[in-house]
Structure 1
Amino acid sequence: MSRVRVASFSISIDGFGAGPDQSLAHPLGVGGEALHGWIFPTRTLQKNLFGRDGGESGEDDKFASRGFENIGAWILGRNMFGPVRGPWPDETWRGWWGENPVYHVPVFVLSHHARKPLVMAGGTTFHFVTEGAEVALARARDAADGRDIRVGGGVQVIQQYLRRRLIDEMHIAISPILLGSGERLFDGIDLPALGYSCSQRVATPAATHVVIERN
């Protein structure tokens, strides 16, 4: 059966998974881009995001690469798709990533407002799900056809699946920065009470990688 995973999700030392005031100019919130300093130089991201050869190998790249292995579908919150709020004014916004997004599999976007599926280059199709987190997961399981499902975020989406104990594994990268404000990933969540524990920890100069699994 497919597993539900969070991978390469970066948080600050003070626990924030996104900065405040997300906008077109600041898609990860003010200061949020610095959370991902560990992954930008990796071979995996250079290939998947920019289509370039080269990049750094090592432990950071191993974790980045693992996040793409055996993935058959993604789940995203609407903020991860774009900065548009409320009803869709039109269908001109097509995501942050250009015409060939990094996913290359079906992506299920949680939204309160319906929109037709958006077919992109490279095998990515965005499906907009208005019926909630569990319906999105059921549809993702069908699309994944036995492969894993990656919950990409943002913070509130991950929290929804954690509170339901639906996430099997999380890889969290703790970046050596302080944000001070934004969205805290584990705010109000008692991981031990939900049956989660830390199974792996690897430190690099750029991040501390922690794997948390459901018991």
Structure 2
Amino acid sequence: MFTQDLRPHDNPVLRAARSAADQVVPPFVLDPAVESAGFAAPNRPAFPADCLADLDGSLRRAGSRLIVRRGAPAEQTAKVAAEPRAGTVHVAAGVSAFARLREARSLALFGDRLHVHDASVTVVPPRRVAPAGRGHYAVFVPYHRAWQQAPRRTVLGAPRELDTPEGIGSENLVVRGPFPPFLPPGGATAARERRRRRDVDVHAGVHDDPAADGTSRLSPYLRFGRLSATELTARFRRGRP
């Protein structure tokens, strides 16, 4: 089940699903609860629409396709999984209350068939870094030092081949629409291209200048999982910007 990890590169959920079975069904559920909470305001749907279209294109190049449904995520995923009688269900561990509720509902439906993967949308699993005898750090610097020393998983490549059963229904992808041209394009392809363009500029001596165009502009891609935070930190650890 795709959530905030709409990318083929360095995706533990997609890799685990591919390793567990010969066929993989990759669903994404459009949740009306998110839209009713205000996300469907003008301009906001454009970025996710690009992301889903780009992900579908990447999956099709690997021999698969994105299965889009609308409704409650856990229940819709259960319906998708029932069609090919899927043996396991994989999802990225979230950090929000919304994500935890989704995981709890999925666990109630799938039981031990559900596999929740840590460090997919974050570099270090939530609550993994904490001082001895306390639930969290109160000061950032010691937290950051501990975070830097925490173990990291290996960066994963994108699956080259994926086989998805025929006949599984899917809603049509949402079209981006006539949105303002200044909005950034969504999708992992655009994210990786922007990362390549900004690699040198971000640390060219202007990152501490508030008036300079020195930010990476990668925040929306990281926020929605179009880029892997683990992959980015691994690049910096190797001395590459």
Q: Normalising by the residue count of structure 2, what TM-score does the alignment of the two structures yield?
A: 0.31
Larger strand proportion, structure 1 or 2? 1
Q: Normalising by the residue count of structure 1, what TM-score does the alignment of the two structures yield?
A: 0.33
Larger helix proportion, structure 1 or 2? 2
